[in-house]
Structure 1
Amino acid sequence: MRIERVTDATAVTAAADLFDEPPIPAATERFLAHPGHHLLFAYDDSGRAVGMISGVEMTHPDKGTEMFIYELGVAPAARLQGIATRLVAELAAIARRNGCYGMWVGTENDNAAALATYRRAGASEETSFTLLNWDLLQD
């Protein structure tokens, strides 16, 4: 298996099944164009994309820069092979190289697979928090 940073929208389109929804072309181009946005794919030995992780560097005046894990996905047939853990580790390595002081992710309390993956990749659990959301597309 190899892990590579994706910079070409055609690669994203070819691996559309790794995303929750089909990639939106304009959003894909915008994401890939920003140097603080990271999209990594894991490829199996045949060259097929079997996993993905996206991360966004976020900077705040009194905190510095941290990496936010936006999304992590592995094809069903490739799960339980350590691919997700390797993707998280590679994104963490990029974050370190880019001077991030930390990395974080949010997931549902009952998402046992995600919790196990992030813990295996070295994450420690912080206190719980409440997620609030604005749906800006509603009238």
Structure 2
Amino acid sequence: MNDRSWSILWIDQSNKDVLDKVAPGVFDEAIKPKRLERYLDNPFNWMALAVEDGLVIGQCMCVVHHHPDKETELYLDEIGTGDDHRRRGVAQSLMDAVFARADEAGIEEIWLGTEPDNVPARGLYEKTGAKAEPAMIYYLEW
């Protein structure tokens, strides 16, 4: 039974205007129109939104990685829920939508990273059965 009050919408150039009304906290910064255009122009960038009464209350952005030497994988780049909409299952419903689309696309591996102290995110990911692996992250500056 689905008693959630929001719907999940995959964004492309035809429906991007839904991003005109976004709850605080969904994105790290304000959306820049030129950056949005560039993002949506790439078919390997996926963006799912949780929309409630015309307001975007959650987002999940992913990037499809095609490799010459291994199977295609999906990088879950960002997931965010509005400040007043957390702990309601919004992020879980976005993850479920990503899993379904990845299945449809024949993608068998999804990977992501989060900070060790991001307990809510780690809880969300571990509910899927994912196990954290030791890793190093480098931020290159030039």
Q: Same fold (TM over 0.5)?
A: yes
Matches within 5 A, 1:1-139: 1-7=6-12, 8-15=15-22, 17=24, 18-44=26-52, 46-120=53-127, 122-136=128-142
Q: Secondary structure at the match of 2:72?
A: strand
Cα contact 2:49–2:60 (8 A) shared by 1:
yes
Q: Give unmatched runs, 5+ long, in structure 1.
A: none
Cα contact 2:23–2:56 (8 A) shared by 1:
no
Following superposition, the deviation at residue 123 of structure 1 comes to 4.2
Following superposition, the deviation at residue 2 of structure 1 comes to 0.6
Cα contact 1:16–1:22 (8 A) shared by 2:
no
Following superposition, the deviation at residue 95 of structure 1 comes to 1.1
Q: How many Å separate the matches in 2 of 1:63 and 1:101? A: 11
- List, as ranges, runs of 4+ consecutive aligned residues in structure 1 with deviation greater than 4 Å: none
Q: How many Å separate the matches in 1 of 2:117 and 2:108? A: 28
Q: How many Å separate the matches in 2 of 1:47 and 1:39? A: 17
Identity among equivalent positions (%) equals: 28
Q: How many Å separate the matches in 2 of 1:52 and 1:117? A: 14
Q: How many Å separate the matches in 2 of 1:123 and 1:56? A: 21
Following superposition, the deviation at residue 38 of structure 1 comes to 0.7
Q: How many Å separate the matches in 2 of 1:127 and 1:2? A: 32
TM-score, length-normalised on structure 1?
A: 0.88
Cα contact 2:8–2:51 (8 A) shared by 1:
yes
Cα distance change, pair 60–34 in 1 and its aligned pair in 2 (3 A) = same
Cα contact 1:42–1:50 (8 A) shared by 2:
yes
Cα contact 1:37–1:55 (8 A) shared by 2:
yes
Q: How many Å separate the matches in 2 of 1:32 and 1:13? A: 15
Q: Give unmatched runs, 5+ long, in structure 2.
A: 1-5
